[in-house]
Amino acid sequence: MQRDADGWFTLSVPDLTAGAEYLFVLPDGTTVPDPAARQQSGDVHGPSLIVDPNAYHWRQAFPDRTWEEAVIYELHIGAFTPEGTFEAARERLGDLAALGVTVIELMPVAQFAGDRGWGYDGVLPYAVHPAYGTPDDLRALVDAAHGLGLLVLLDVVYNHFGPEGNYLNRYAPDFFDDERQTPWGAAIAYHRPPVRNFFIGNALYWLRDFRFDGLRLDAIDQVRDRSEPEILVELAQTVRTQLDRPLHLTTEDNRNIVRLHERRDGRVVLYTSEWNDDFHNAAHVITTGEVEGYYADFAKDPHALLARALAEGFAYQGQATAKDGIARGAPSDAQPPVAFIDFVQNHDQTGNRAFGERLNALAPDAAVRALRAILLLSPHVPLIFMGEEYGERQPFLFFTDFEGDLADAVREGRRREFAGFASFDADGADLPDPNALRTFEMSKLNWARLAGEGADIWHETQALLSLRKQHVVPWLAGTAGGAGKVVQADQSSVAVDWQLAGGLLELRANLSATPKSLAPVQGEVIYSTSPVETPEAWQVVVSVFQGDSR
């Protein structure tokens, strides 16, 4: 390969065809894969493959759906079905559409070391993980989803590379920022044009070549860039300029910032929505009583924090947190409700527990049912974690497929992480081994439950989503910021009103095990866990009032 004046190495080889293998050879003779490989012939250490991106024949058009209709279903391809493949997942899409889901969100599918893992330790961001299938198998999954009217988002990781199989530091050390580390490894030097183009090009690649309808950018608080504009801004501007169709860019960010999600005349400029951990954390403390770790920030007045999150977006909007006393967040009440993605479970808060328990293993059934109603009938965008729709009891554990010293380091790191938790055995003897095949197999959905004791929960979820579609979604388009108002929040209950574009949505909830009367509503009751006039534990009432009540 020949080096040009800008430092790029190039070589032209005629008459190559799709499927041809190639490697980069370093000056010392070491062979490494292409860091932008579209497909590997095997693992992350071996040859890359030439791919024809135009070989797949697309059959379906992009669905005509607005973000206001979004009901997100997060899934892990490997654990979603017994087979753990794109093809097997495609066979389940009809069930999700029938449920009322409108968006599926795939956990990362970029290639990582080994066969099994969550995907957040990817090292080849352009290559599809081969254990799930081929690039065209992924295209067929997106195509089938579009045929059912489902949008498809992809989770992408631009904040670090995984610990095994990343060779960039061997021949391009300037790709990394030697002044900073992330919690997961070396920080990336986004201020260098080739580096930022690598990631912006990756976003375009997934959206263009695979027809994803949007992306979820993981942990953007670790995507730190001193450029102007910063890479997160340039990425959003570029994809929205170059791809002339509706796109939905969502983020995970523990800073509770709003500057990337602001609207201009009601129009999304950069990012569409942000994951709302505050909603989850307050709800979790209320229903489980757990106050360890990051839940400590929600131990005091969790009902008030939940009510504020429902009404205004974030619970922490610049206040000092209880755990470390550091101010977190910015005012969020000027954001429209659909700028926030709420959840009561997701891969992180479930899988990052020592034993991967789902909420229904930690909280009373009545409490889980109450949260389900609040999640699916609030004007925020709801996210369902796979299996939640039928009350899955299988855990979702942290699993990897490393070997040798790295496997030992991951195993010991998990034990240290949970050593300070009261519920965890100090010697870690019972902690599931992340590298054991059994840990992965335990995390797969048990679809037999859907046909049995999970059927009632599935039908209730479907009914709630039908109510959402009928009564909530039509009022979300045109609803600006400032829609929510806390009517009441005490030590056991919350009452929140939203003045939406078309009517008033009222939520009343007793989130405690003690029956109590709820604040009155003025609209028509569309949902109640029990008769409105009869105070009960974990009671939720939702009503709608046509027009402006102010």
Which contiguous run of DSSP H or E holds residue 127? strand 122-128
- Residue 77, CA distances (Å) to 154, 194, 310, 325 in order: 11, 31, 31, 39
Let me know: does 252 contact 258? Beta carbons within 8 Å. no
Residue whose C-alpha is closest to residue 232's, from 213, 205, 257:
257
Residue 425 pLDDT = 58
Residue whose C-alpha is closest to residue 384's, from 63, 75, 66:
75
d(CA 21, CA 28): 21
Let me know: does 360 contact 503? Beta carbons within 8 Å. no
Q: Which of 252, 278, 297, 497 is catalytic?
A: 252
| Angle in degrees, CA 60, 62, 65, rounded to 5 | 135
| Angle in degrees, CA 401, 403, 404, rounded to 5 | 155
Residue indicated by tokens 């829609």: 483
- In the chain, which residues have pLDDT < 70? 420-429, 549-550
Residue 415 pLDDT = 82
The set of residues, in sequence order, having a beta carbon less than 8 Å from that of 518 and lying 6+ positions away, is 493, 495, 508, 509, 510, 532, 535, 539, 541
Residue whose C-alpha is closest to residue 408's, from 163, 44, 185:
163
Residue whose C-alpha is closest to residue 101's, from 63, 55, 49:
63
503 strand-pairing partners: 500, 546
d(CA 62, CA 148): 10
Question: In the CATH scheme, what architecture does the domain 484-546 have?
Answer: Sandwich (2.60)
d(CA 49, CA 42): 9
Residue 418 pLDDT = 79
Segments of 159-201 assigned E as strands: 176-182, 185-188
Residue whose C-alpha is closest to residue 114's, from 169, 162, 51:
162
Name the amino acid, one letter, at 87.
Answer: E
d(CA 302, CA 325): 17
Let me know: does 339 contact 273? Beta carbons within 8 Å. yes
Whether a cis peptide bond, with omega within 30° of 0, leads into 82 is: no
d(CA 382, CA 371): 11
Residue 453 bears catalytic tag: no
Bridge-based pairing of strands 248-251 and 214-217 is: parallel
Residue 6 pLDDT = 86
What pLDDT digit, counting tens, does each position of 381-395 carry? 999 999 999 999 999
Q: Which two tokens stand for residue 390?
A: 């039928």
Residue whose C-alpha is closest to residue 288's, from 226, 338, 353:
353
Q: Which two tokens stand for residue 448?
A: 């037999």
Residue 424 burial (CB count, 10 A): 18
Let me know: does 245 contact 62? Beta carbons within 8 Å. yes
214 strand-pairing partners: 153, 248
Q: Which of 155, 218, 234, 297 is catalytic?
A: 218
Residue 423 pLDDT = 63
Q: Which two tokens stand for residue 549?
A: 């009540």
Residue 427 bears catalytic tag: no
d(CA 496, CA 308): 9
What pLDDT digit, counting tens, does each position of 306-344 carry? 999 999 999 999 999 988 899 999 999 999 999 999 999
Let me know: does 111 contact 28? Beta carbons within 8 Å. no
What is the radius of gyration, based on Cα positions, of the chain? 24
Let me know: does 455 contact 390? Beta carbons within 8 Å. yes
Residue whose C-alpha is closest to residue 360's, from 352, 351, 371:
371
Q: Which two tokens stand for residue 538?
A: 């974990």
